[in-house]
Amino acid sequence: MNKDLILVESPSKAKTINKYVGKSYIVEATVGHIRNLPKTKLGIDIENGFEPNLVNIRGKGDVIKKIKSLAGKSNKIFIATDPDREGEAIAQDVVDILTDAQKTKIERVLFNEITKKAVNEALKNTIKIDEHLVTSQRARRVMDRIIGYQVSPFLWYAVIEAYGSSLSAGRVQSVALRLICEREEAIDSFIPTEHWSIVAVFTTDKGQEIRAKFSEVDGKQIKIPPKPQMSETDWEEFFKTNFAITSKDLADKILSAIKAKQEFKISDLTKKESKRNPFPPFITSSLQVEASKKLRFRPRRTMMLAQQLYEGVDLGAEGTTGLISYMRTDSTRLSEEVVADARTYIKEKYGDLYLPDGPKSYEQKNKKNVQDAHEAIRPTSLKYTPEFVKEFLDEAQFKLYELIWKRFIACQMESARMETTTVTISAEEYIFKSSGTTMLFDGFMTIYDEDTDDTNDQNGNGGLIPAGLEVNQKMKLEELIPNQHFTKPPPRFTESTLIKELESNGIGRPSTYAMIMGTIMDRKYVDQVERKLVPTDLGKKVNAILVKNFSNIFNVNFTAQMEEELDSIAEGEIGYLKVLNDFYTPFAKTLKEVEANLVKIKCEKCGSDMEIRMGRFGKFLACSNYPECKNIKSLKEFSANGGAPEETGDICPKCGSKTVYREGKFGRFIGCEKYPDCDFTKIVTLGLKCPKCNDGEVITRKTKRGRLFYGCNRYPDCDFASWTYPKPKEEEEEATVASGEEF
């Protein structure tokens, strides 16, 4: 008896689904994409409607052969690749490799979650492949290939001394790099402005203490001064309604004037109640942002763990089941059924006070988004509480699942209520204010609070306000505390804040954020220093070249416009050809202008231009006059130092030759230029004693995944390791290693 065939993308997903559907089905994995554009050529017929030339991916021959064989023997073929644009394209690729007879058996299946109920219901409610989604993915792929293929060689020429750095340009990654570099430029050019604040300590006649901040003088608000580069007119306008303490002398004068006052009293006392609403359930970007902030997970790691939770985890007697819904989504929508389950859970677990009168909805109004057909990221069943599944998950999986669980439950809970009390203390024209917030009802915050920052500060805000205060009550001035400040430059991006920036500008999509972060670091365009993204010299140089020559292409507005048009294709509102023409017309014009000014390397044999080409072993230079001239050269010959290692300036103590810097499995080291004839090596230290053993020296090392960290050169005798640059011994704080990655 012939069986039905179910095709999914990953083997682990296939394994989970196989347990749900029984012996009448065969579940097979495509292991990702099976067709793609060719590696060694553009693969797009630009003159013929941007027709892509998709070919079977090298190494997928056995998978394709097996799919064809199983398809020929099956009654029905259910294509159950992921429910997004990439999954739809893979589904179409499967169709394209099958015969006409086999195509008649095909039905499309969408699994928003991998549970027995969801899988079997989906198999009963099949659909057709969405040709608009497929076309949108093809357009995105073509657009990215054209940019990468035609701009990257220009970068190889322009930065040829950086050979070996895998230079590339990308439609979205280059904009992300530009944002990082522009932020760095703003930091470098920032001019700090001095300003002072004054905090007063008052006591009541009962000895109750209040800290209040100097906030007003002569009816003018105390403000941080604007940029020092402002014109006199702008300064005059600022000082009409504001006042800034810009020097110690001015601060001292104000302190003396305040101390001379004879009476301080409460001139105003207000109480205001406010609500804090719960956060919406996670979408892909917000999950990556929160996992980065709360769990210190990189976006790539977050998505890997989410994929595992979605595809299925062995829960012992419960069997293998998917714990969360599909993790690549822009939608905050939730099904009525799961919201009803959440409300029942909240009532039973927390009581009626925490249950709103009705369900909370977070559906985006007027937001065009091709993936709104999916739900938000949520648990598949409220049976699987974090406590229930903890023993079956590793530490990282559990942390992420618990975060998703709490966010989902919290989104259906009652709002928190706070009361803010503001006290105004006056001495004639000098006004001080202090505010304190009291929690009246914690609501959803009993299990989830996105804001982890401490709201208390030393400037008279966020502290406790004593009870029993009254207007006109006299206060005693105990102390005046002047504080010097300097305005700060804009902060560097972290991975989470960069994702927020990209999302707010309409750049990138759920499936791309983790890849963008990984690409700009894998290419060594950006380093991560104490979780901040810092452009490398190479990254700055690449960005400068792209901005100078392709500013109209690699910018926020153009990239966001292209994203909108790609989404419009998926919605069936606009055609493939129009979008590609809208992109390619300005791009081709810019590329032509750039190439006209590009100094090409000439073939010494025939005088033709040498072109950078891609071969089996990487990039190389070949004569454009091929096949008449078959001259080829290594790119190393044209690097800044001919491909030679960087010299240290020292002499090898073993043989007297020069020593050079080299890259090894565990990072940078010093070796002899005569290697392998001379095997002298020396570890590159940072000139800092190990803070743990105080005997060895700190060196830079790499994890198995290539991440840099600091360790002791006496390892394994000393196991000191830190992600951050270690401080001197007297300042050292114990460093901890991020969970889940071994040194």
pLDDT digit string, tens, across residues 90-123: 999 999 999 999 999 999 999 999 988 999 999 9
Give pLDDT, residue 732: 36
Q: What is the mean pLDDT of the chain?
A: 85
Task: Give residue 74's pLDDT.
Answer: 92
pLDDT in the model for residue 511: 76
585, with CB counted inside 10 A (0-12, 13-18, 19+), is exposed
Range with top average pLDDT, 332-341, 504-513, 592-601, 650-659: 332-341
Task: Report pLDDT for 667.
Answer: 56
pLDDT band at 711 (very low <50, low <70, confident <90, very high): confident
Of residues 663 and 236, the one with the higher pLDDT is: 236
Distance CA 639, CA 526 (A): 21
Q: How far apart are CA 324 and CA 305, in angstroms?
A: 11
| Residue 493, pLDDT score | 95
Going from the C-alpha of 490 to that of each of 190, 227, 444, 454, the distances in angstroms are: 8, 13, 32, 21
Return the structure tokens found at 674: 């005569």
Q: Is residue 149 flagged as an active site residue?
A: no
- Which pLDDT value is given to residue 451? 56
Domains of the chain: 4-129 (3.40.50.140), 138-189+491-596 (1.10.460.10), 194-277+418-486 (2.70.20.10), 296-410 (1.10.290.10), 601-644 (no CATH), 647-731 (no CATH)
Is 408 in contact with 378 (CB distance < 8 Å)? yes
Token digits for 440?
A: 């009246």
Q: Is 327 left (phi over 0), alpha (psi -120 to 50) or beta?
A: alpha
Does residue 533 have a pLDDT over 90? yes
**Strand-strand pairing, 44-45 and 532-535:** unpaired
Is 688 or 538 the better-scoring residue by pLDDT?
538
Residue 109 corresponds to which tokens in the numbers above? 């299946």
Q: Which residues pair with 700 in a beta bridge?
A: 710
Flag whether pLDDT at 161 surpasses 50: no
pLDDT over 90, % of the chain? 51
Cis peptide leading into residue 627 (ω within 30°): yes
- The CA dihedral of 375, 379, 381, 384, to the nearest 10 degrees, is 180
Hey, what are 537's tokens? 């010299």
Specify the pLDDT at position 151.
Answer: 85
Question: What is the pLDDT at residue 738?
Answer: 28
Asked if the model's pLDDT at residue 608 lies above 50, the reply is yes
Q: CA of 331: how far to CAs of 281, 283, 410, 413, 544, in Å?
A: 9, 6, 17, 19, 36
What is the mean pLDDT of the segment spanning 147-174? 71
According to the model, what pLDDT value does residue 183 have?
A: 94
Bridge partner residues of 190 (DSSP): none
pLDDT score recorded for residue 730: 36
Q: How confident is the model at residue 736 (pLDDT cuts 50, 70, 90)?
A: very low
Q: Which two tokens stand for residue 736?
A: 């901890």
Catalytically annotated residue among 20, 326, 354, 576: 326
Indicate whether 454 pLDDT > 70: no
Res. 408 pLDDT band, cuts 50 70 90: very high
pLDDT of residue 229: 65
pLDDT at 651 (0 to 100):
87
Range in 207-211, 386-390, 521-525 the model is least confident about: 521-525
Residue type at 640 in one-letter notation: A
What is the total residue count of the chain?
A: 743
Predicted local confidence at residue 604, as pLDDT: 82
pLDDT classification of 239: cutoffs 50, 70, 90: confident
**By mean pLDDT, which of 28-37, 275-284, 534-543, 609-618 is the weakest?**
609-618
Residue 363 confidence (pLDDT): 75
**Regarding beta strands 4-8 and 77-79, do their DSSP bridges make them parallel or antiparallel, or are they unpaired?**
parallel
One-letter identity of residue 721:
A
Please report the pLDDT score of residue 422 as a whole number. 94
The pLDDT score that the predictor gives to residue 288 is 93
Given a cut of 50, whether residue 194 has pLDDT beyond it is: yes
